[in-house]
Amino acid sequence: MPGPHSDDTSCVIGVDVGTGSARAGVFSLSGQMLGTAKQDITLYRGPGAMVEQSSTQIWQAVCASVRGAMAQAGVAASAIRGIGFDATCSLVVLGQGGQPLPVGPSEDPDRDVIVWMDHRAIEQSERINAMGHRVLDYVGGRISPEMETPKILWLKENRPQVFGDAWAFFDLADFLTWRATGDLARSTCTVTCKWTYLAHERRWDADYFRRIGLAELAEEGFARIGQTVVDPGTALGSGLTPQAAGELGLRPGTAVAAGMIDAHAGGIGTVGCEGDPQATLAYVFGTSSCTMTSTADPVFVPGVWGPYFSAMVPGMWLNEGGQSAAGAAIEQLLSFHPAAPAATVAAQAAGLSLPAYLAQLAGDLSDGADPVALAAGLHVVPEFLGNRAPFADPHARAVIAGLGMGREVSDLVALYIAGLCGIGYGLRQIIEAQDKAGAAISRIAISGGAGQLDLVRQILADSTAKPVISVTAAEPVLLGSAILGAVAGRAYKDVAQAMAAMSQRDRVYEPQSPQTIALHDARYLAFTRLQSLARDLRSDLH
């Protein structure tokens, strides 16, 4: 139920900036979504491993999606109690006056965002890892090229003029809250998970920055990356500035919450549905996947990011794993098959996405039996973009074994099932690594666009031997950001209370029969052997 400061007409807004779009949702204080809207954003690829975006376009997309969601909800600006933002962990680089700076060889200043999936900084991350600094203990022992300090080091070494001209480096969620309020405060979620901020000690480690070659940031007192760091949900500045309010169609002074990384917002929107966040792993299955496990005390898991203090649930420690390519890996896998073009046309004619169409066919072809049997002899290790966890190996690549000459749609269905199993086994590896280190979980709460199908959820439950829980919220990532907005707007006293009030369980997908679990045990063994062989071959032929 709403807290003591709320009223029946109060609403909150959640904004989610993903890899391909900005979305907004208007929610009641009980967690019901009243309206939503989406605006696409451009992804600029290349050269090489570079992936860039425009912060100007992102903000415009945010404003359009908020206005669209408000129109669909049919609520007045006066009803909005607070707004929360989440975004991908992408790096925004701004010059004096907040002007965008070009982060790549295009020299286009509008391309001022290095996207999370950009791997241009692999060399820098490997050099940092070779130093073995103590801050790496809090990122699973190895820093990823997806994190921000390797990317900033790349800028210094390859675009020194841009590095020198930069007035501020923002994680994308922190850019959005700055753009909304003018407040330069950073979120513990962003800077702890992606920047090496030591939240449990409330400080940056100056020695780390000096040793890796970014002494300037330390000598400046960390002014360019964040001198004030606050927990997610903290009300920032004086709320929306008049300019931002006008652009968003909201009232000046509307409470704005310190934000989160998108996956973590999905965690906030799901793990509260069962009451005990420590027992529930949040699994956000989108373009990539993220796993988030909360513990009362720090747990160190080799190859799994963290432990991070107050990065998701304030006051609790977080271990974060995941797969660099998940939904994107399935999309890539299906694109290889000769039946994919015809199946895509058929899916569009049926008003379905290709995965939804293939899931429907899998049900028809299996005729009540376990659809995994359709993938007999076919195995996929879907590490097209490396292994984020538990091996922290950006050089890992996908393996497909057992693929024949079949060109029918039924063969495409089998490949789809094998790919989903591979995603499930990667998740199982992370769960087992965390369990061994002392962070055991009892269940999985799922969110994300790629995890909405019943077939996907059941395969994940069977492949991990853990119940998979869905929540009633159709958009749990948006709900997570809205929860932050509710806390900033003082509808609830803290994030834990808001989670319990606004997130409810929908369905539970239990692991099936012992025979099904045994089948997945055998397939999991094949998965790990193929994965290990691929590493050995890469090492032998290096």
pLDDT digits (tens), the chain, 542 positions: 333 333 445 999 999 999 999 999 999 999 999 999 999 999 999 899 999 999 999 999 999 999 999 999 999 999 999 999 999 999 999 999 999 999 999 999 999 999 999 999 999 999 999 999 999 999 888 999 999 999 999 999 999 999 999 999 999 999 999 999 999 999 999 999 999 999 999 999 999 999 999 999 999 999 999 999 999 999 999 999 999 999 999 999 999 999 999 989 999 999 887 777 889 999 999 888 999 999 999 999 998 989 999 999 888 999 999 998 999 999 999 999 999 999 999 999 999 999 999 999 999 999 889 999 999 999 999 999 999 999 989 899 999 999 999 999 999 999 999 999 999 999 999 999 999 999 999 999 998 889 999 999 999 999 999 999 999 888 999 999 999 999 999 999 999 999 999 998 999 999 999 999 999 999 999 999 999 999 999 988 76
Tell me if 216 is assigned to some domain. yes
* CATH number of the domain enclosing 521: 1.20.58.2240
Tell me if 487 is assigned to some domain. no
> What residue has token string 């700076």?
101
Tell me if 522 is assigned to some domain. yes
Q: What is the pLDDT of residue 368?
A: 86
C-alpha dist (Å) from residue 251 to 35, 81, 175: 18, 10, 20
Sign of CA dihedral 176, 178, 184, 188: negative
C-beta separation of 342 from 302 below 8 A? no
Q: Are residues 65 and 210 in the same domain?
A: yes
Instruction: State pTM to two decimals.
Output: 0.86
Q: What is the pLDDT of residue 542?
A: 65
Q: Are residues 405 and 498 in the same domain?
A: no
Which residues, in sequence order, are bridge partners of residue 38? Answer: 23
Q: Are residues 43 and 61 in the same domain?
A: yes
Q: Are residues 280 and 369 in the same domain?
A: no
Tell me if 503 is assigned to some domain. yes
Q: Are residues 220 and 95 in the same domain?
A: yes
Three-class SS state of 264: helix
User: CB within 8 A of 8, min separation 6: which ones?
Assistant: 2
Q: Nearest Cα to 295, choosing from 284, 283, 308?
A: 308
Q: Are residues 420 and 448 in the same domain?
A: no
pLDDT tens string 5-25:
334 459 999 999 999 999 999
Tokens of 436: 């061994």
C-beta separation of 267 from 473 below 8 A? no
Q: What angle do CA 126, 128, 132 make, to 5 degrees?
A: 110
Q: What is the pLDDT of residue 1?
A: 36
Q: Are residues 366 and 502 in the same domain?
A: no
Q: Are residues 311 and 355 in the same domain?
A: no
Tell me if 267 is assigned to some domain. no
Q: Are residues 124 and 27 in the same domain?
A: yes
Distance CA 431, CA 323 (A): 13
Tell me if 481 is assigned to some domain. no
Would you tell me the crossing angle of helices 409-437 and 514-540 to the nearest 10 degrees?
A: 90
Q: What is the pLDDT of residue 9?
A: 56
Q: What is the pLDDT of residue 14?
A: 98
**Overall domain count for the chain:** 3
Q: Which domain, by its residues, includes 448?
A: 273-323+438-476+493-509
* CATH number of the domain enclosing 442: 3.30.420.40
Distance CA 168, CA 222 (A): 10
Q: What are phi and psi of 449, to 5 degrees?
A: -60, -35
Tell me if 363 is assigned to some domain. yes
Q: Nearest Cα to 471, choosing from 510, 502, 492?
A: 502
Q: Are residues 167 and 129 in the same domain?
A: yes
Tell me if 99 is assigned to some domain. yes
Q: What angle do CA 156, 159, 160 make, to 5 degrees?
A: 55
Q: Are residues 255 and 353 in the same domain?
A: no
Q: Are residues 400 and 279 in the same domain?
A: no
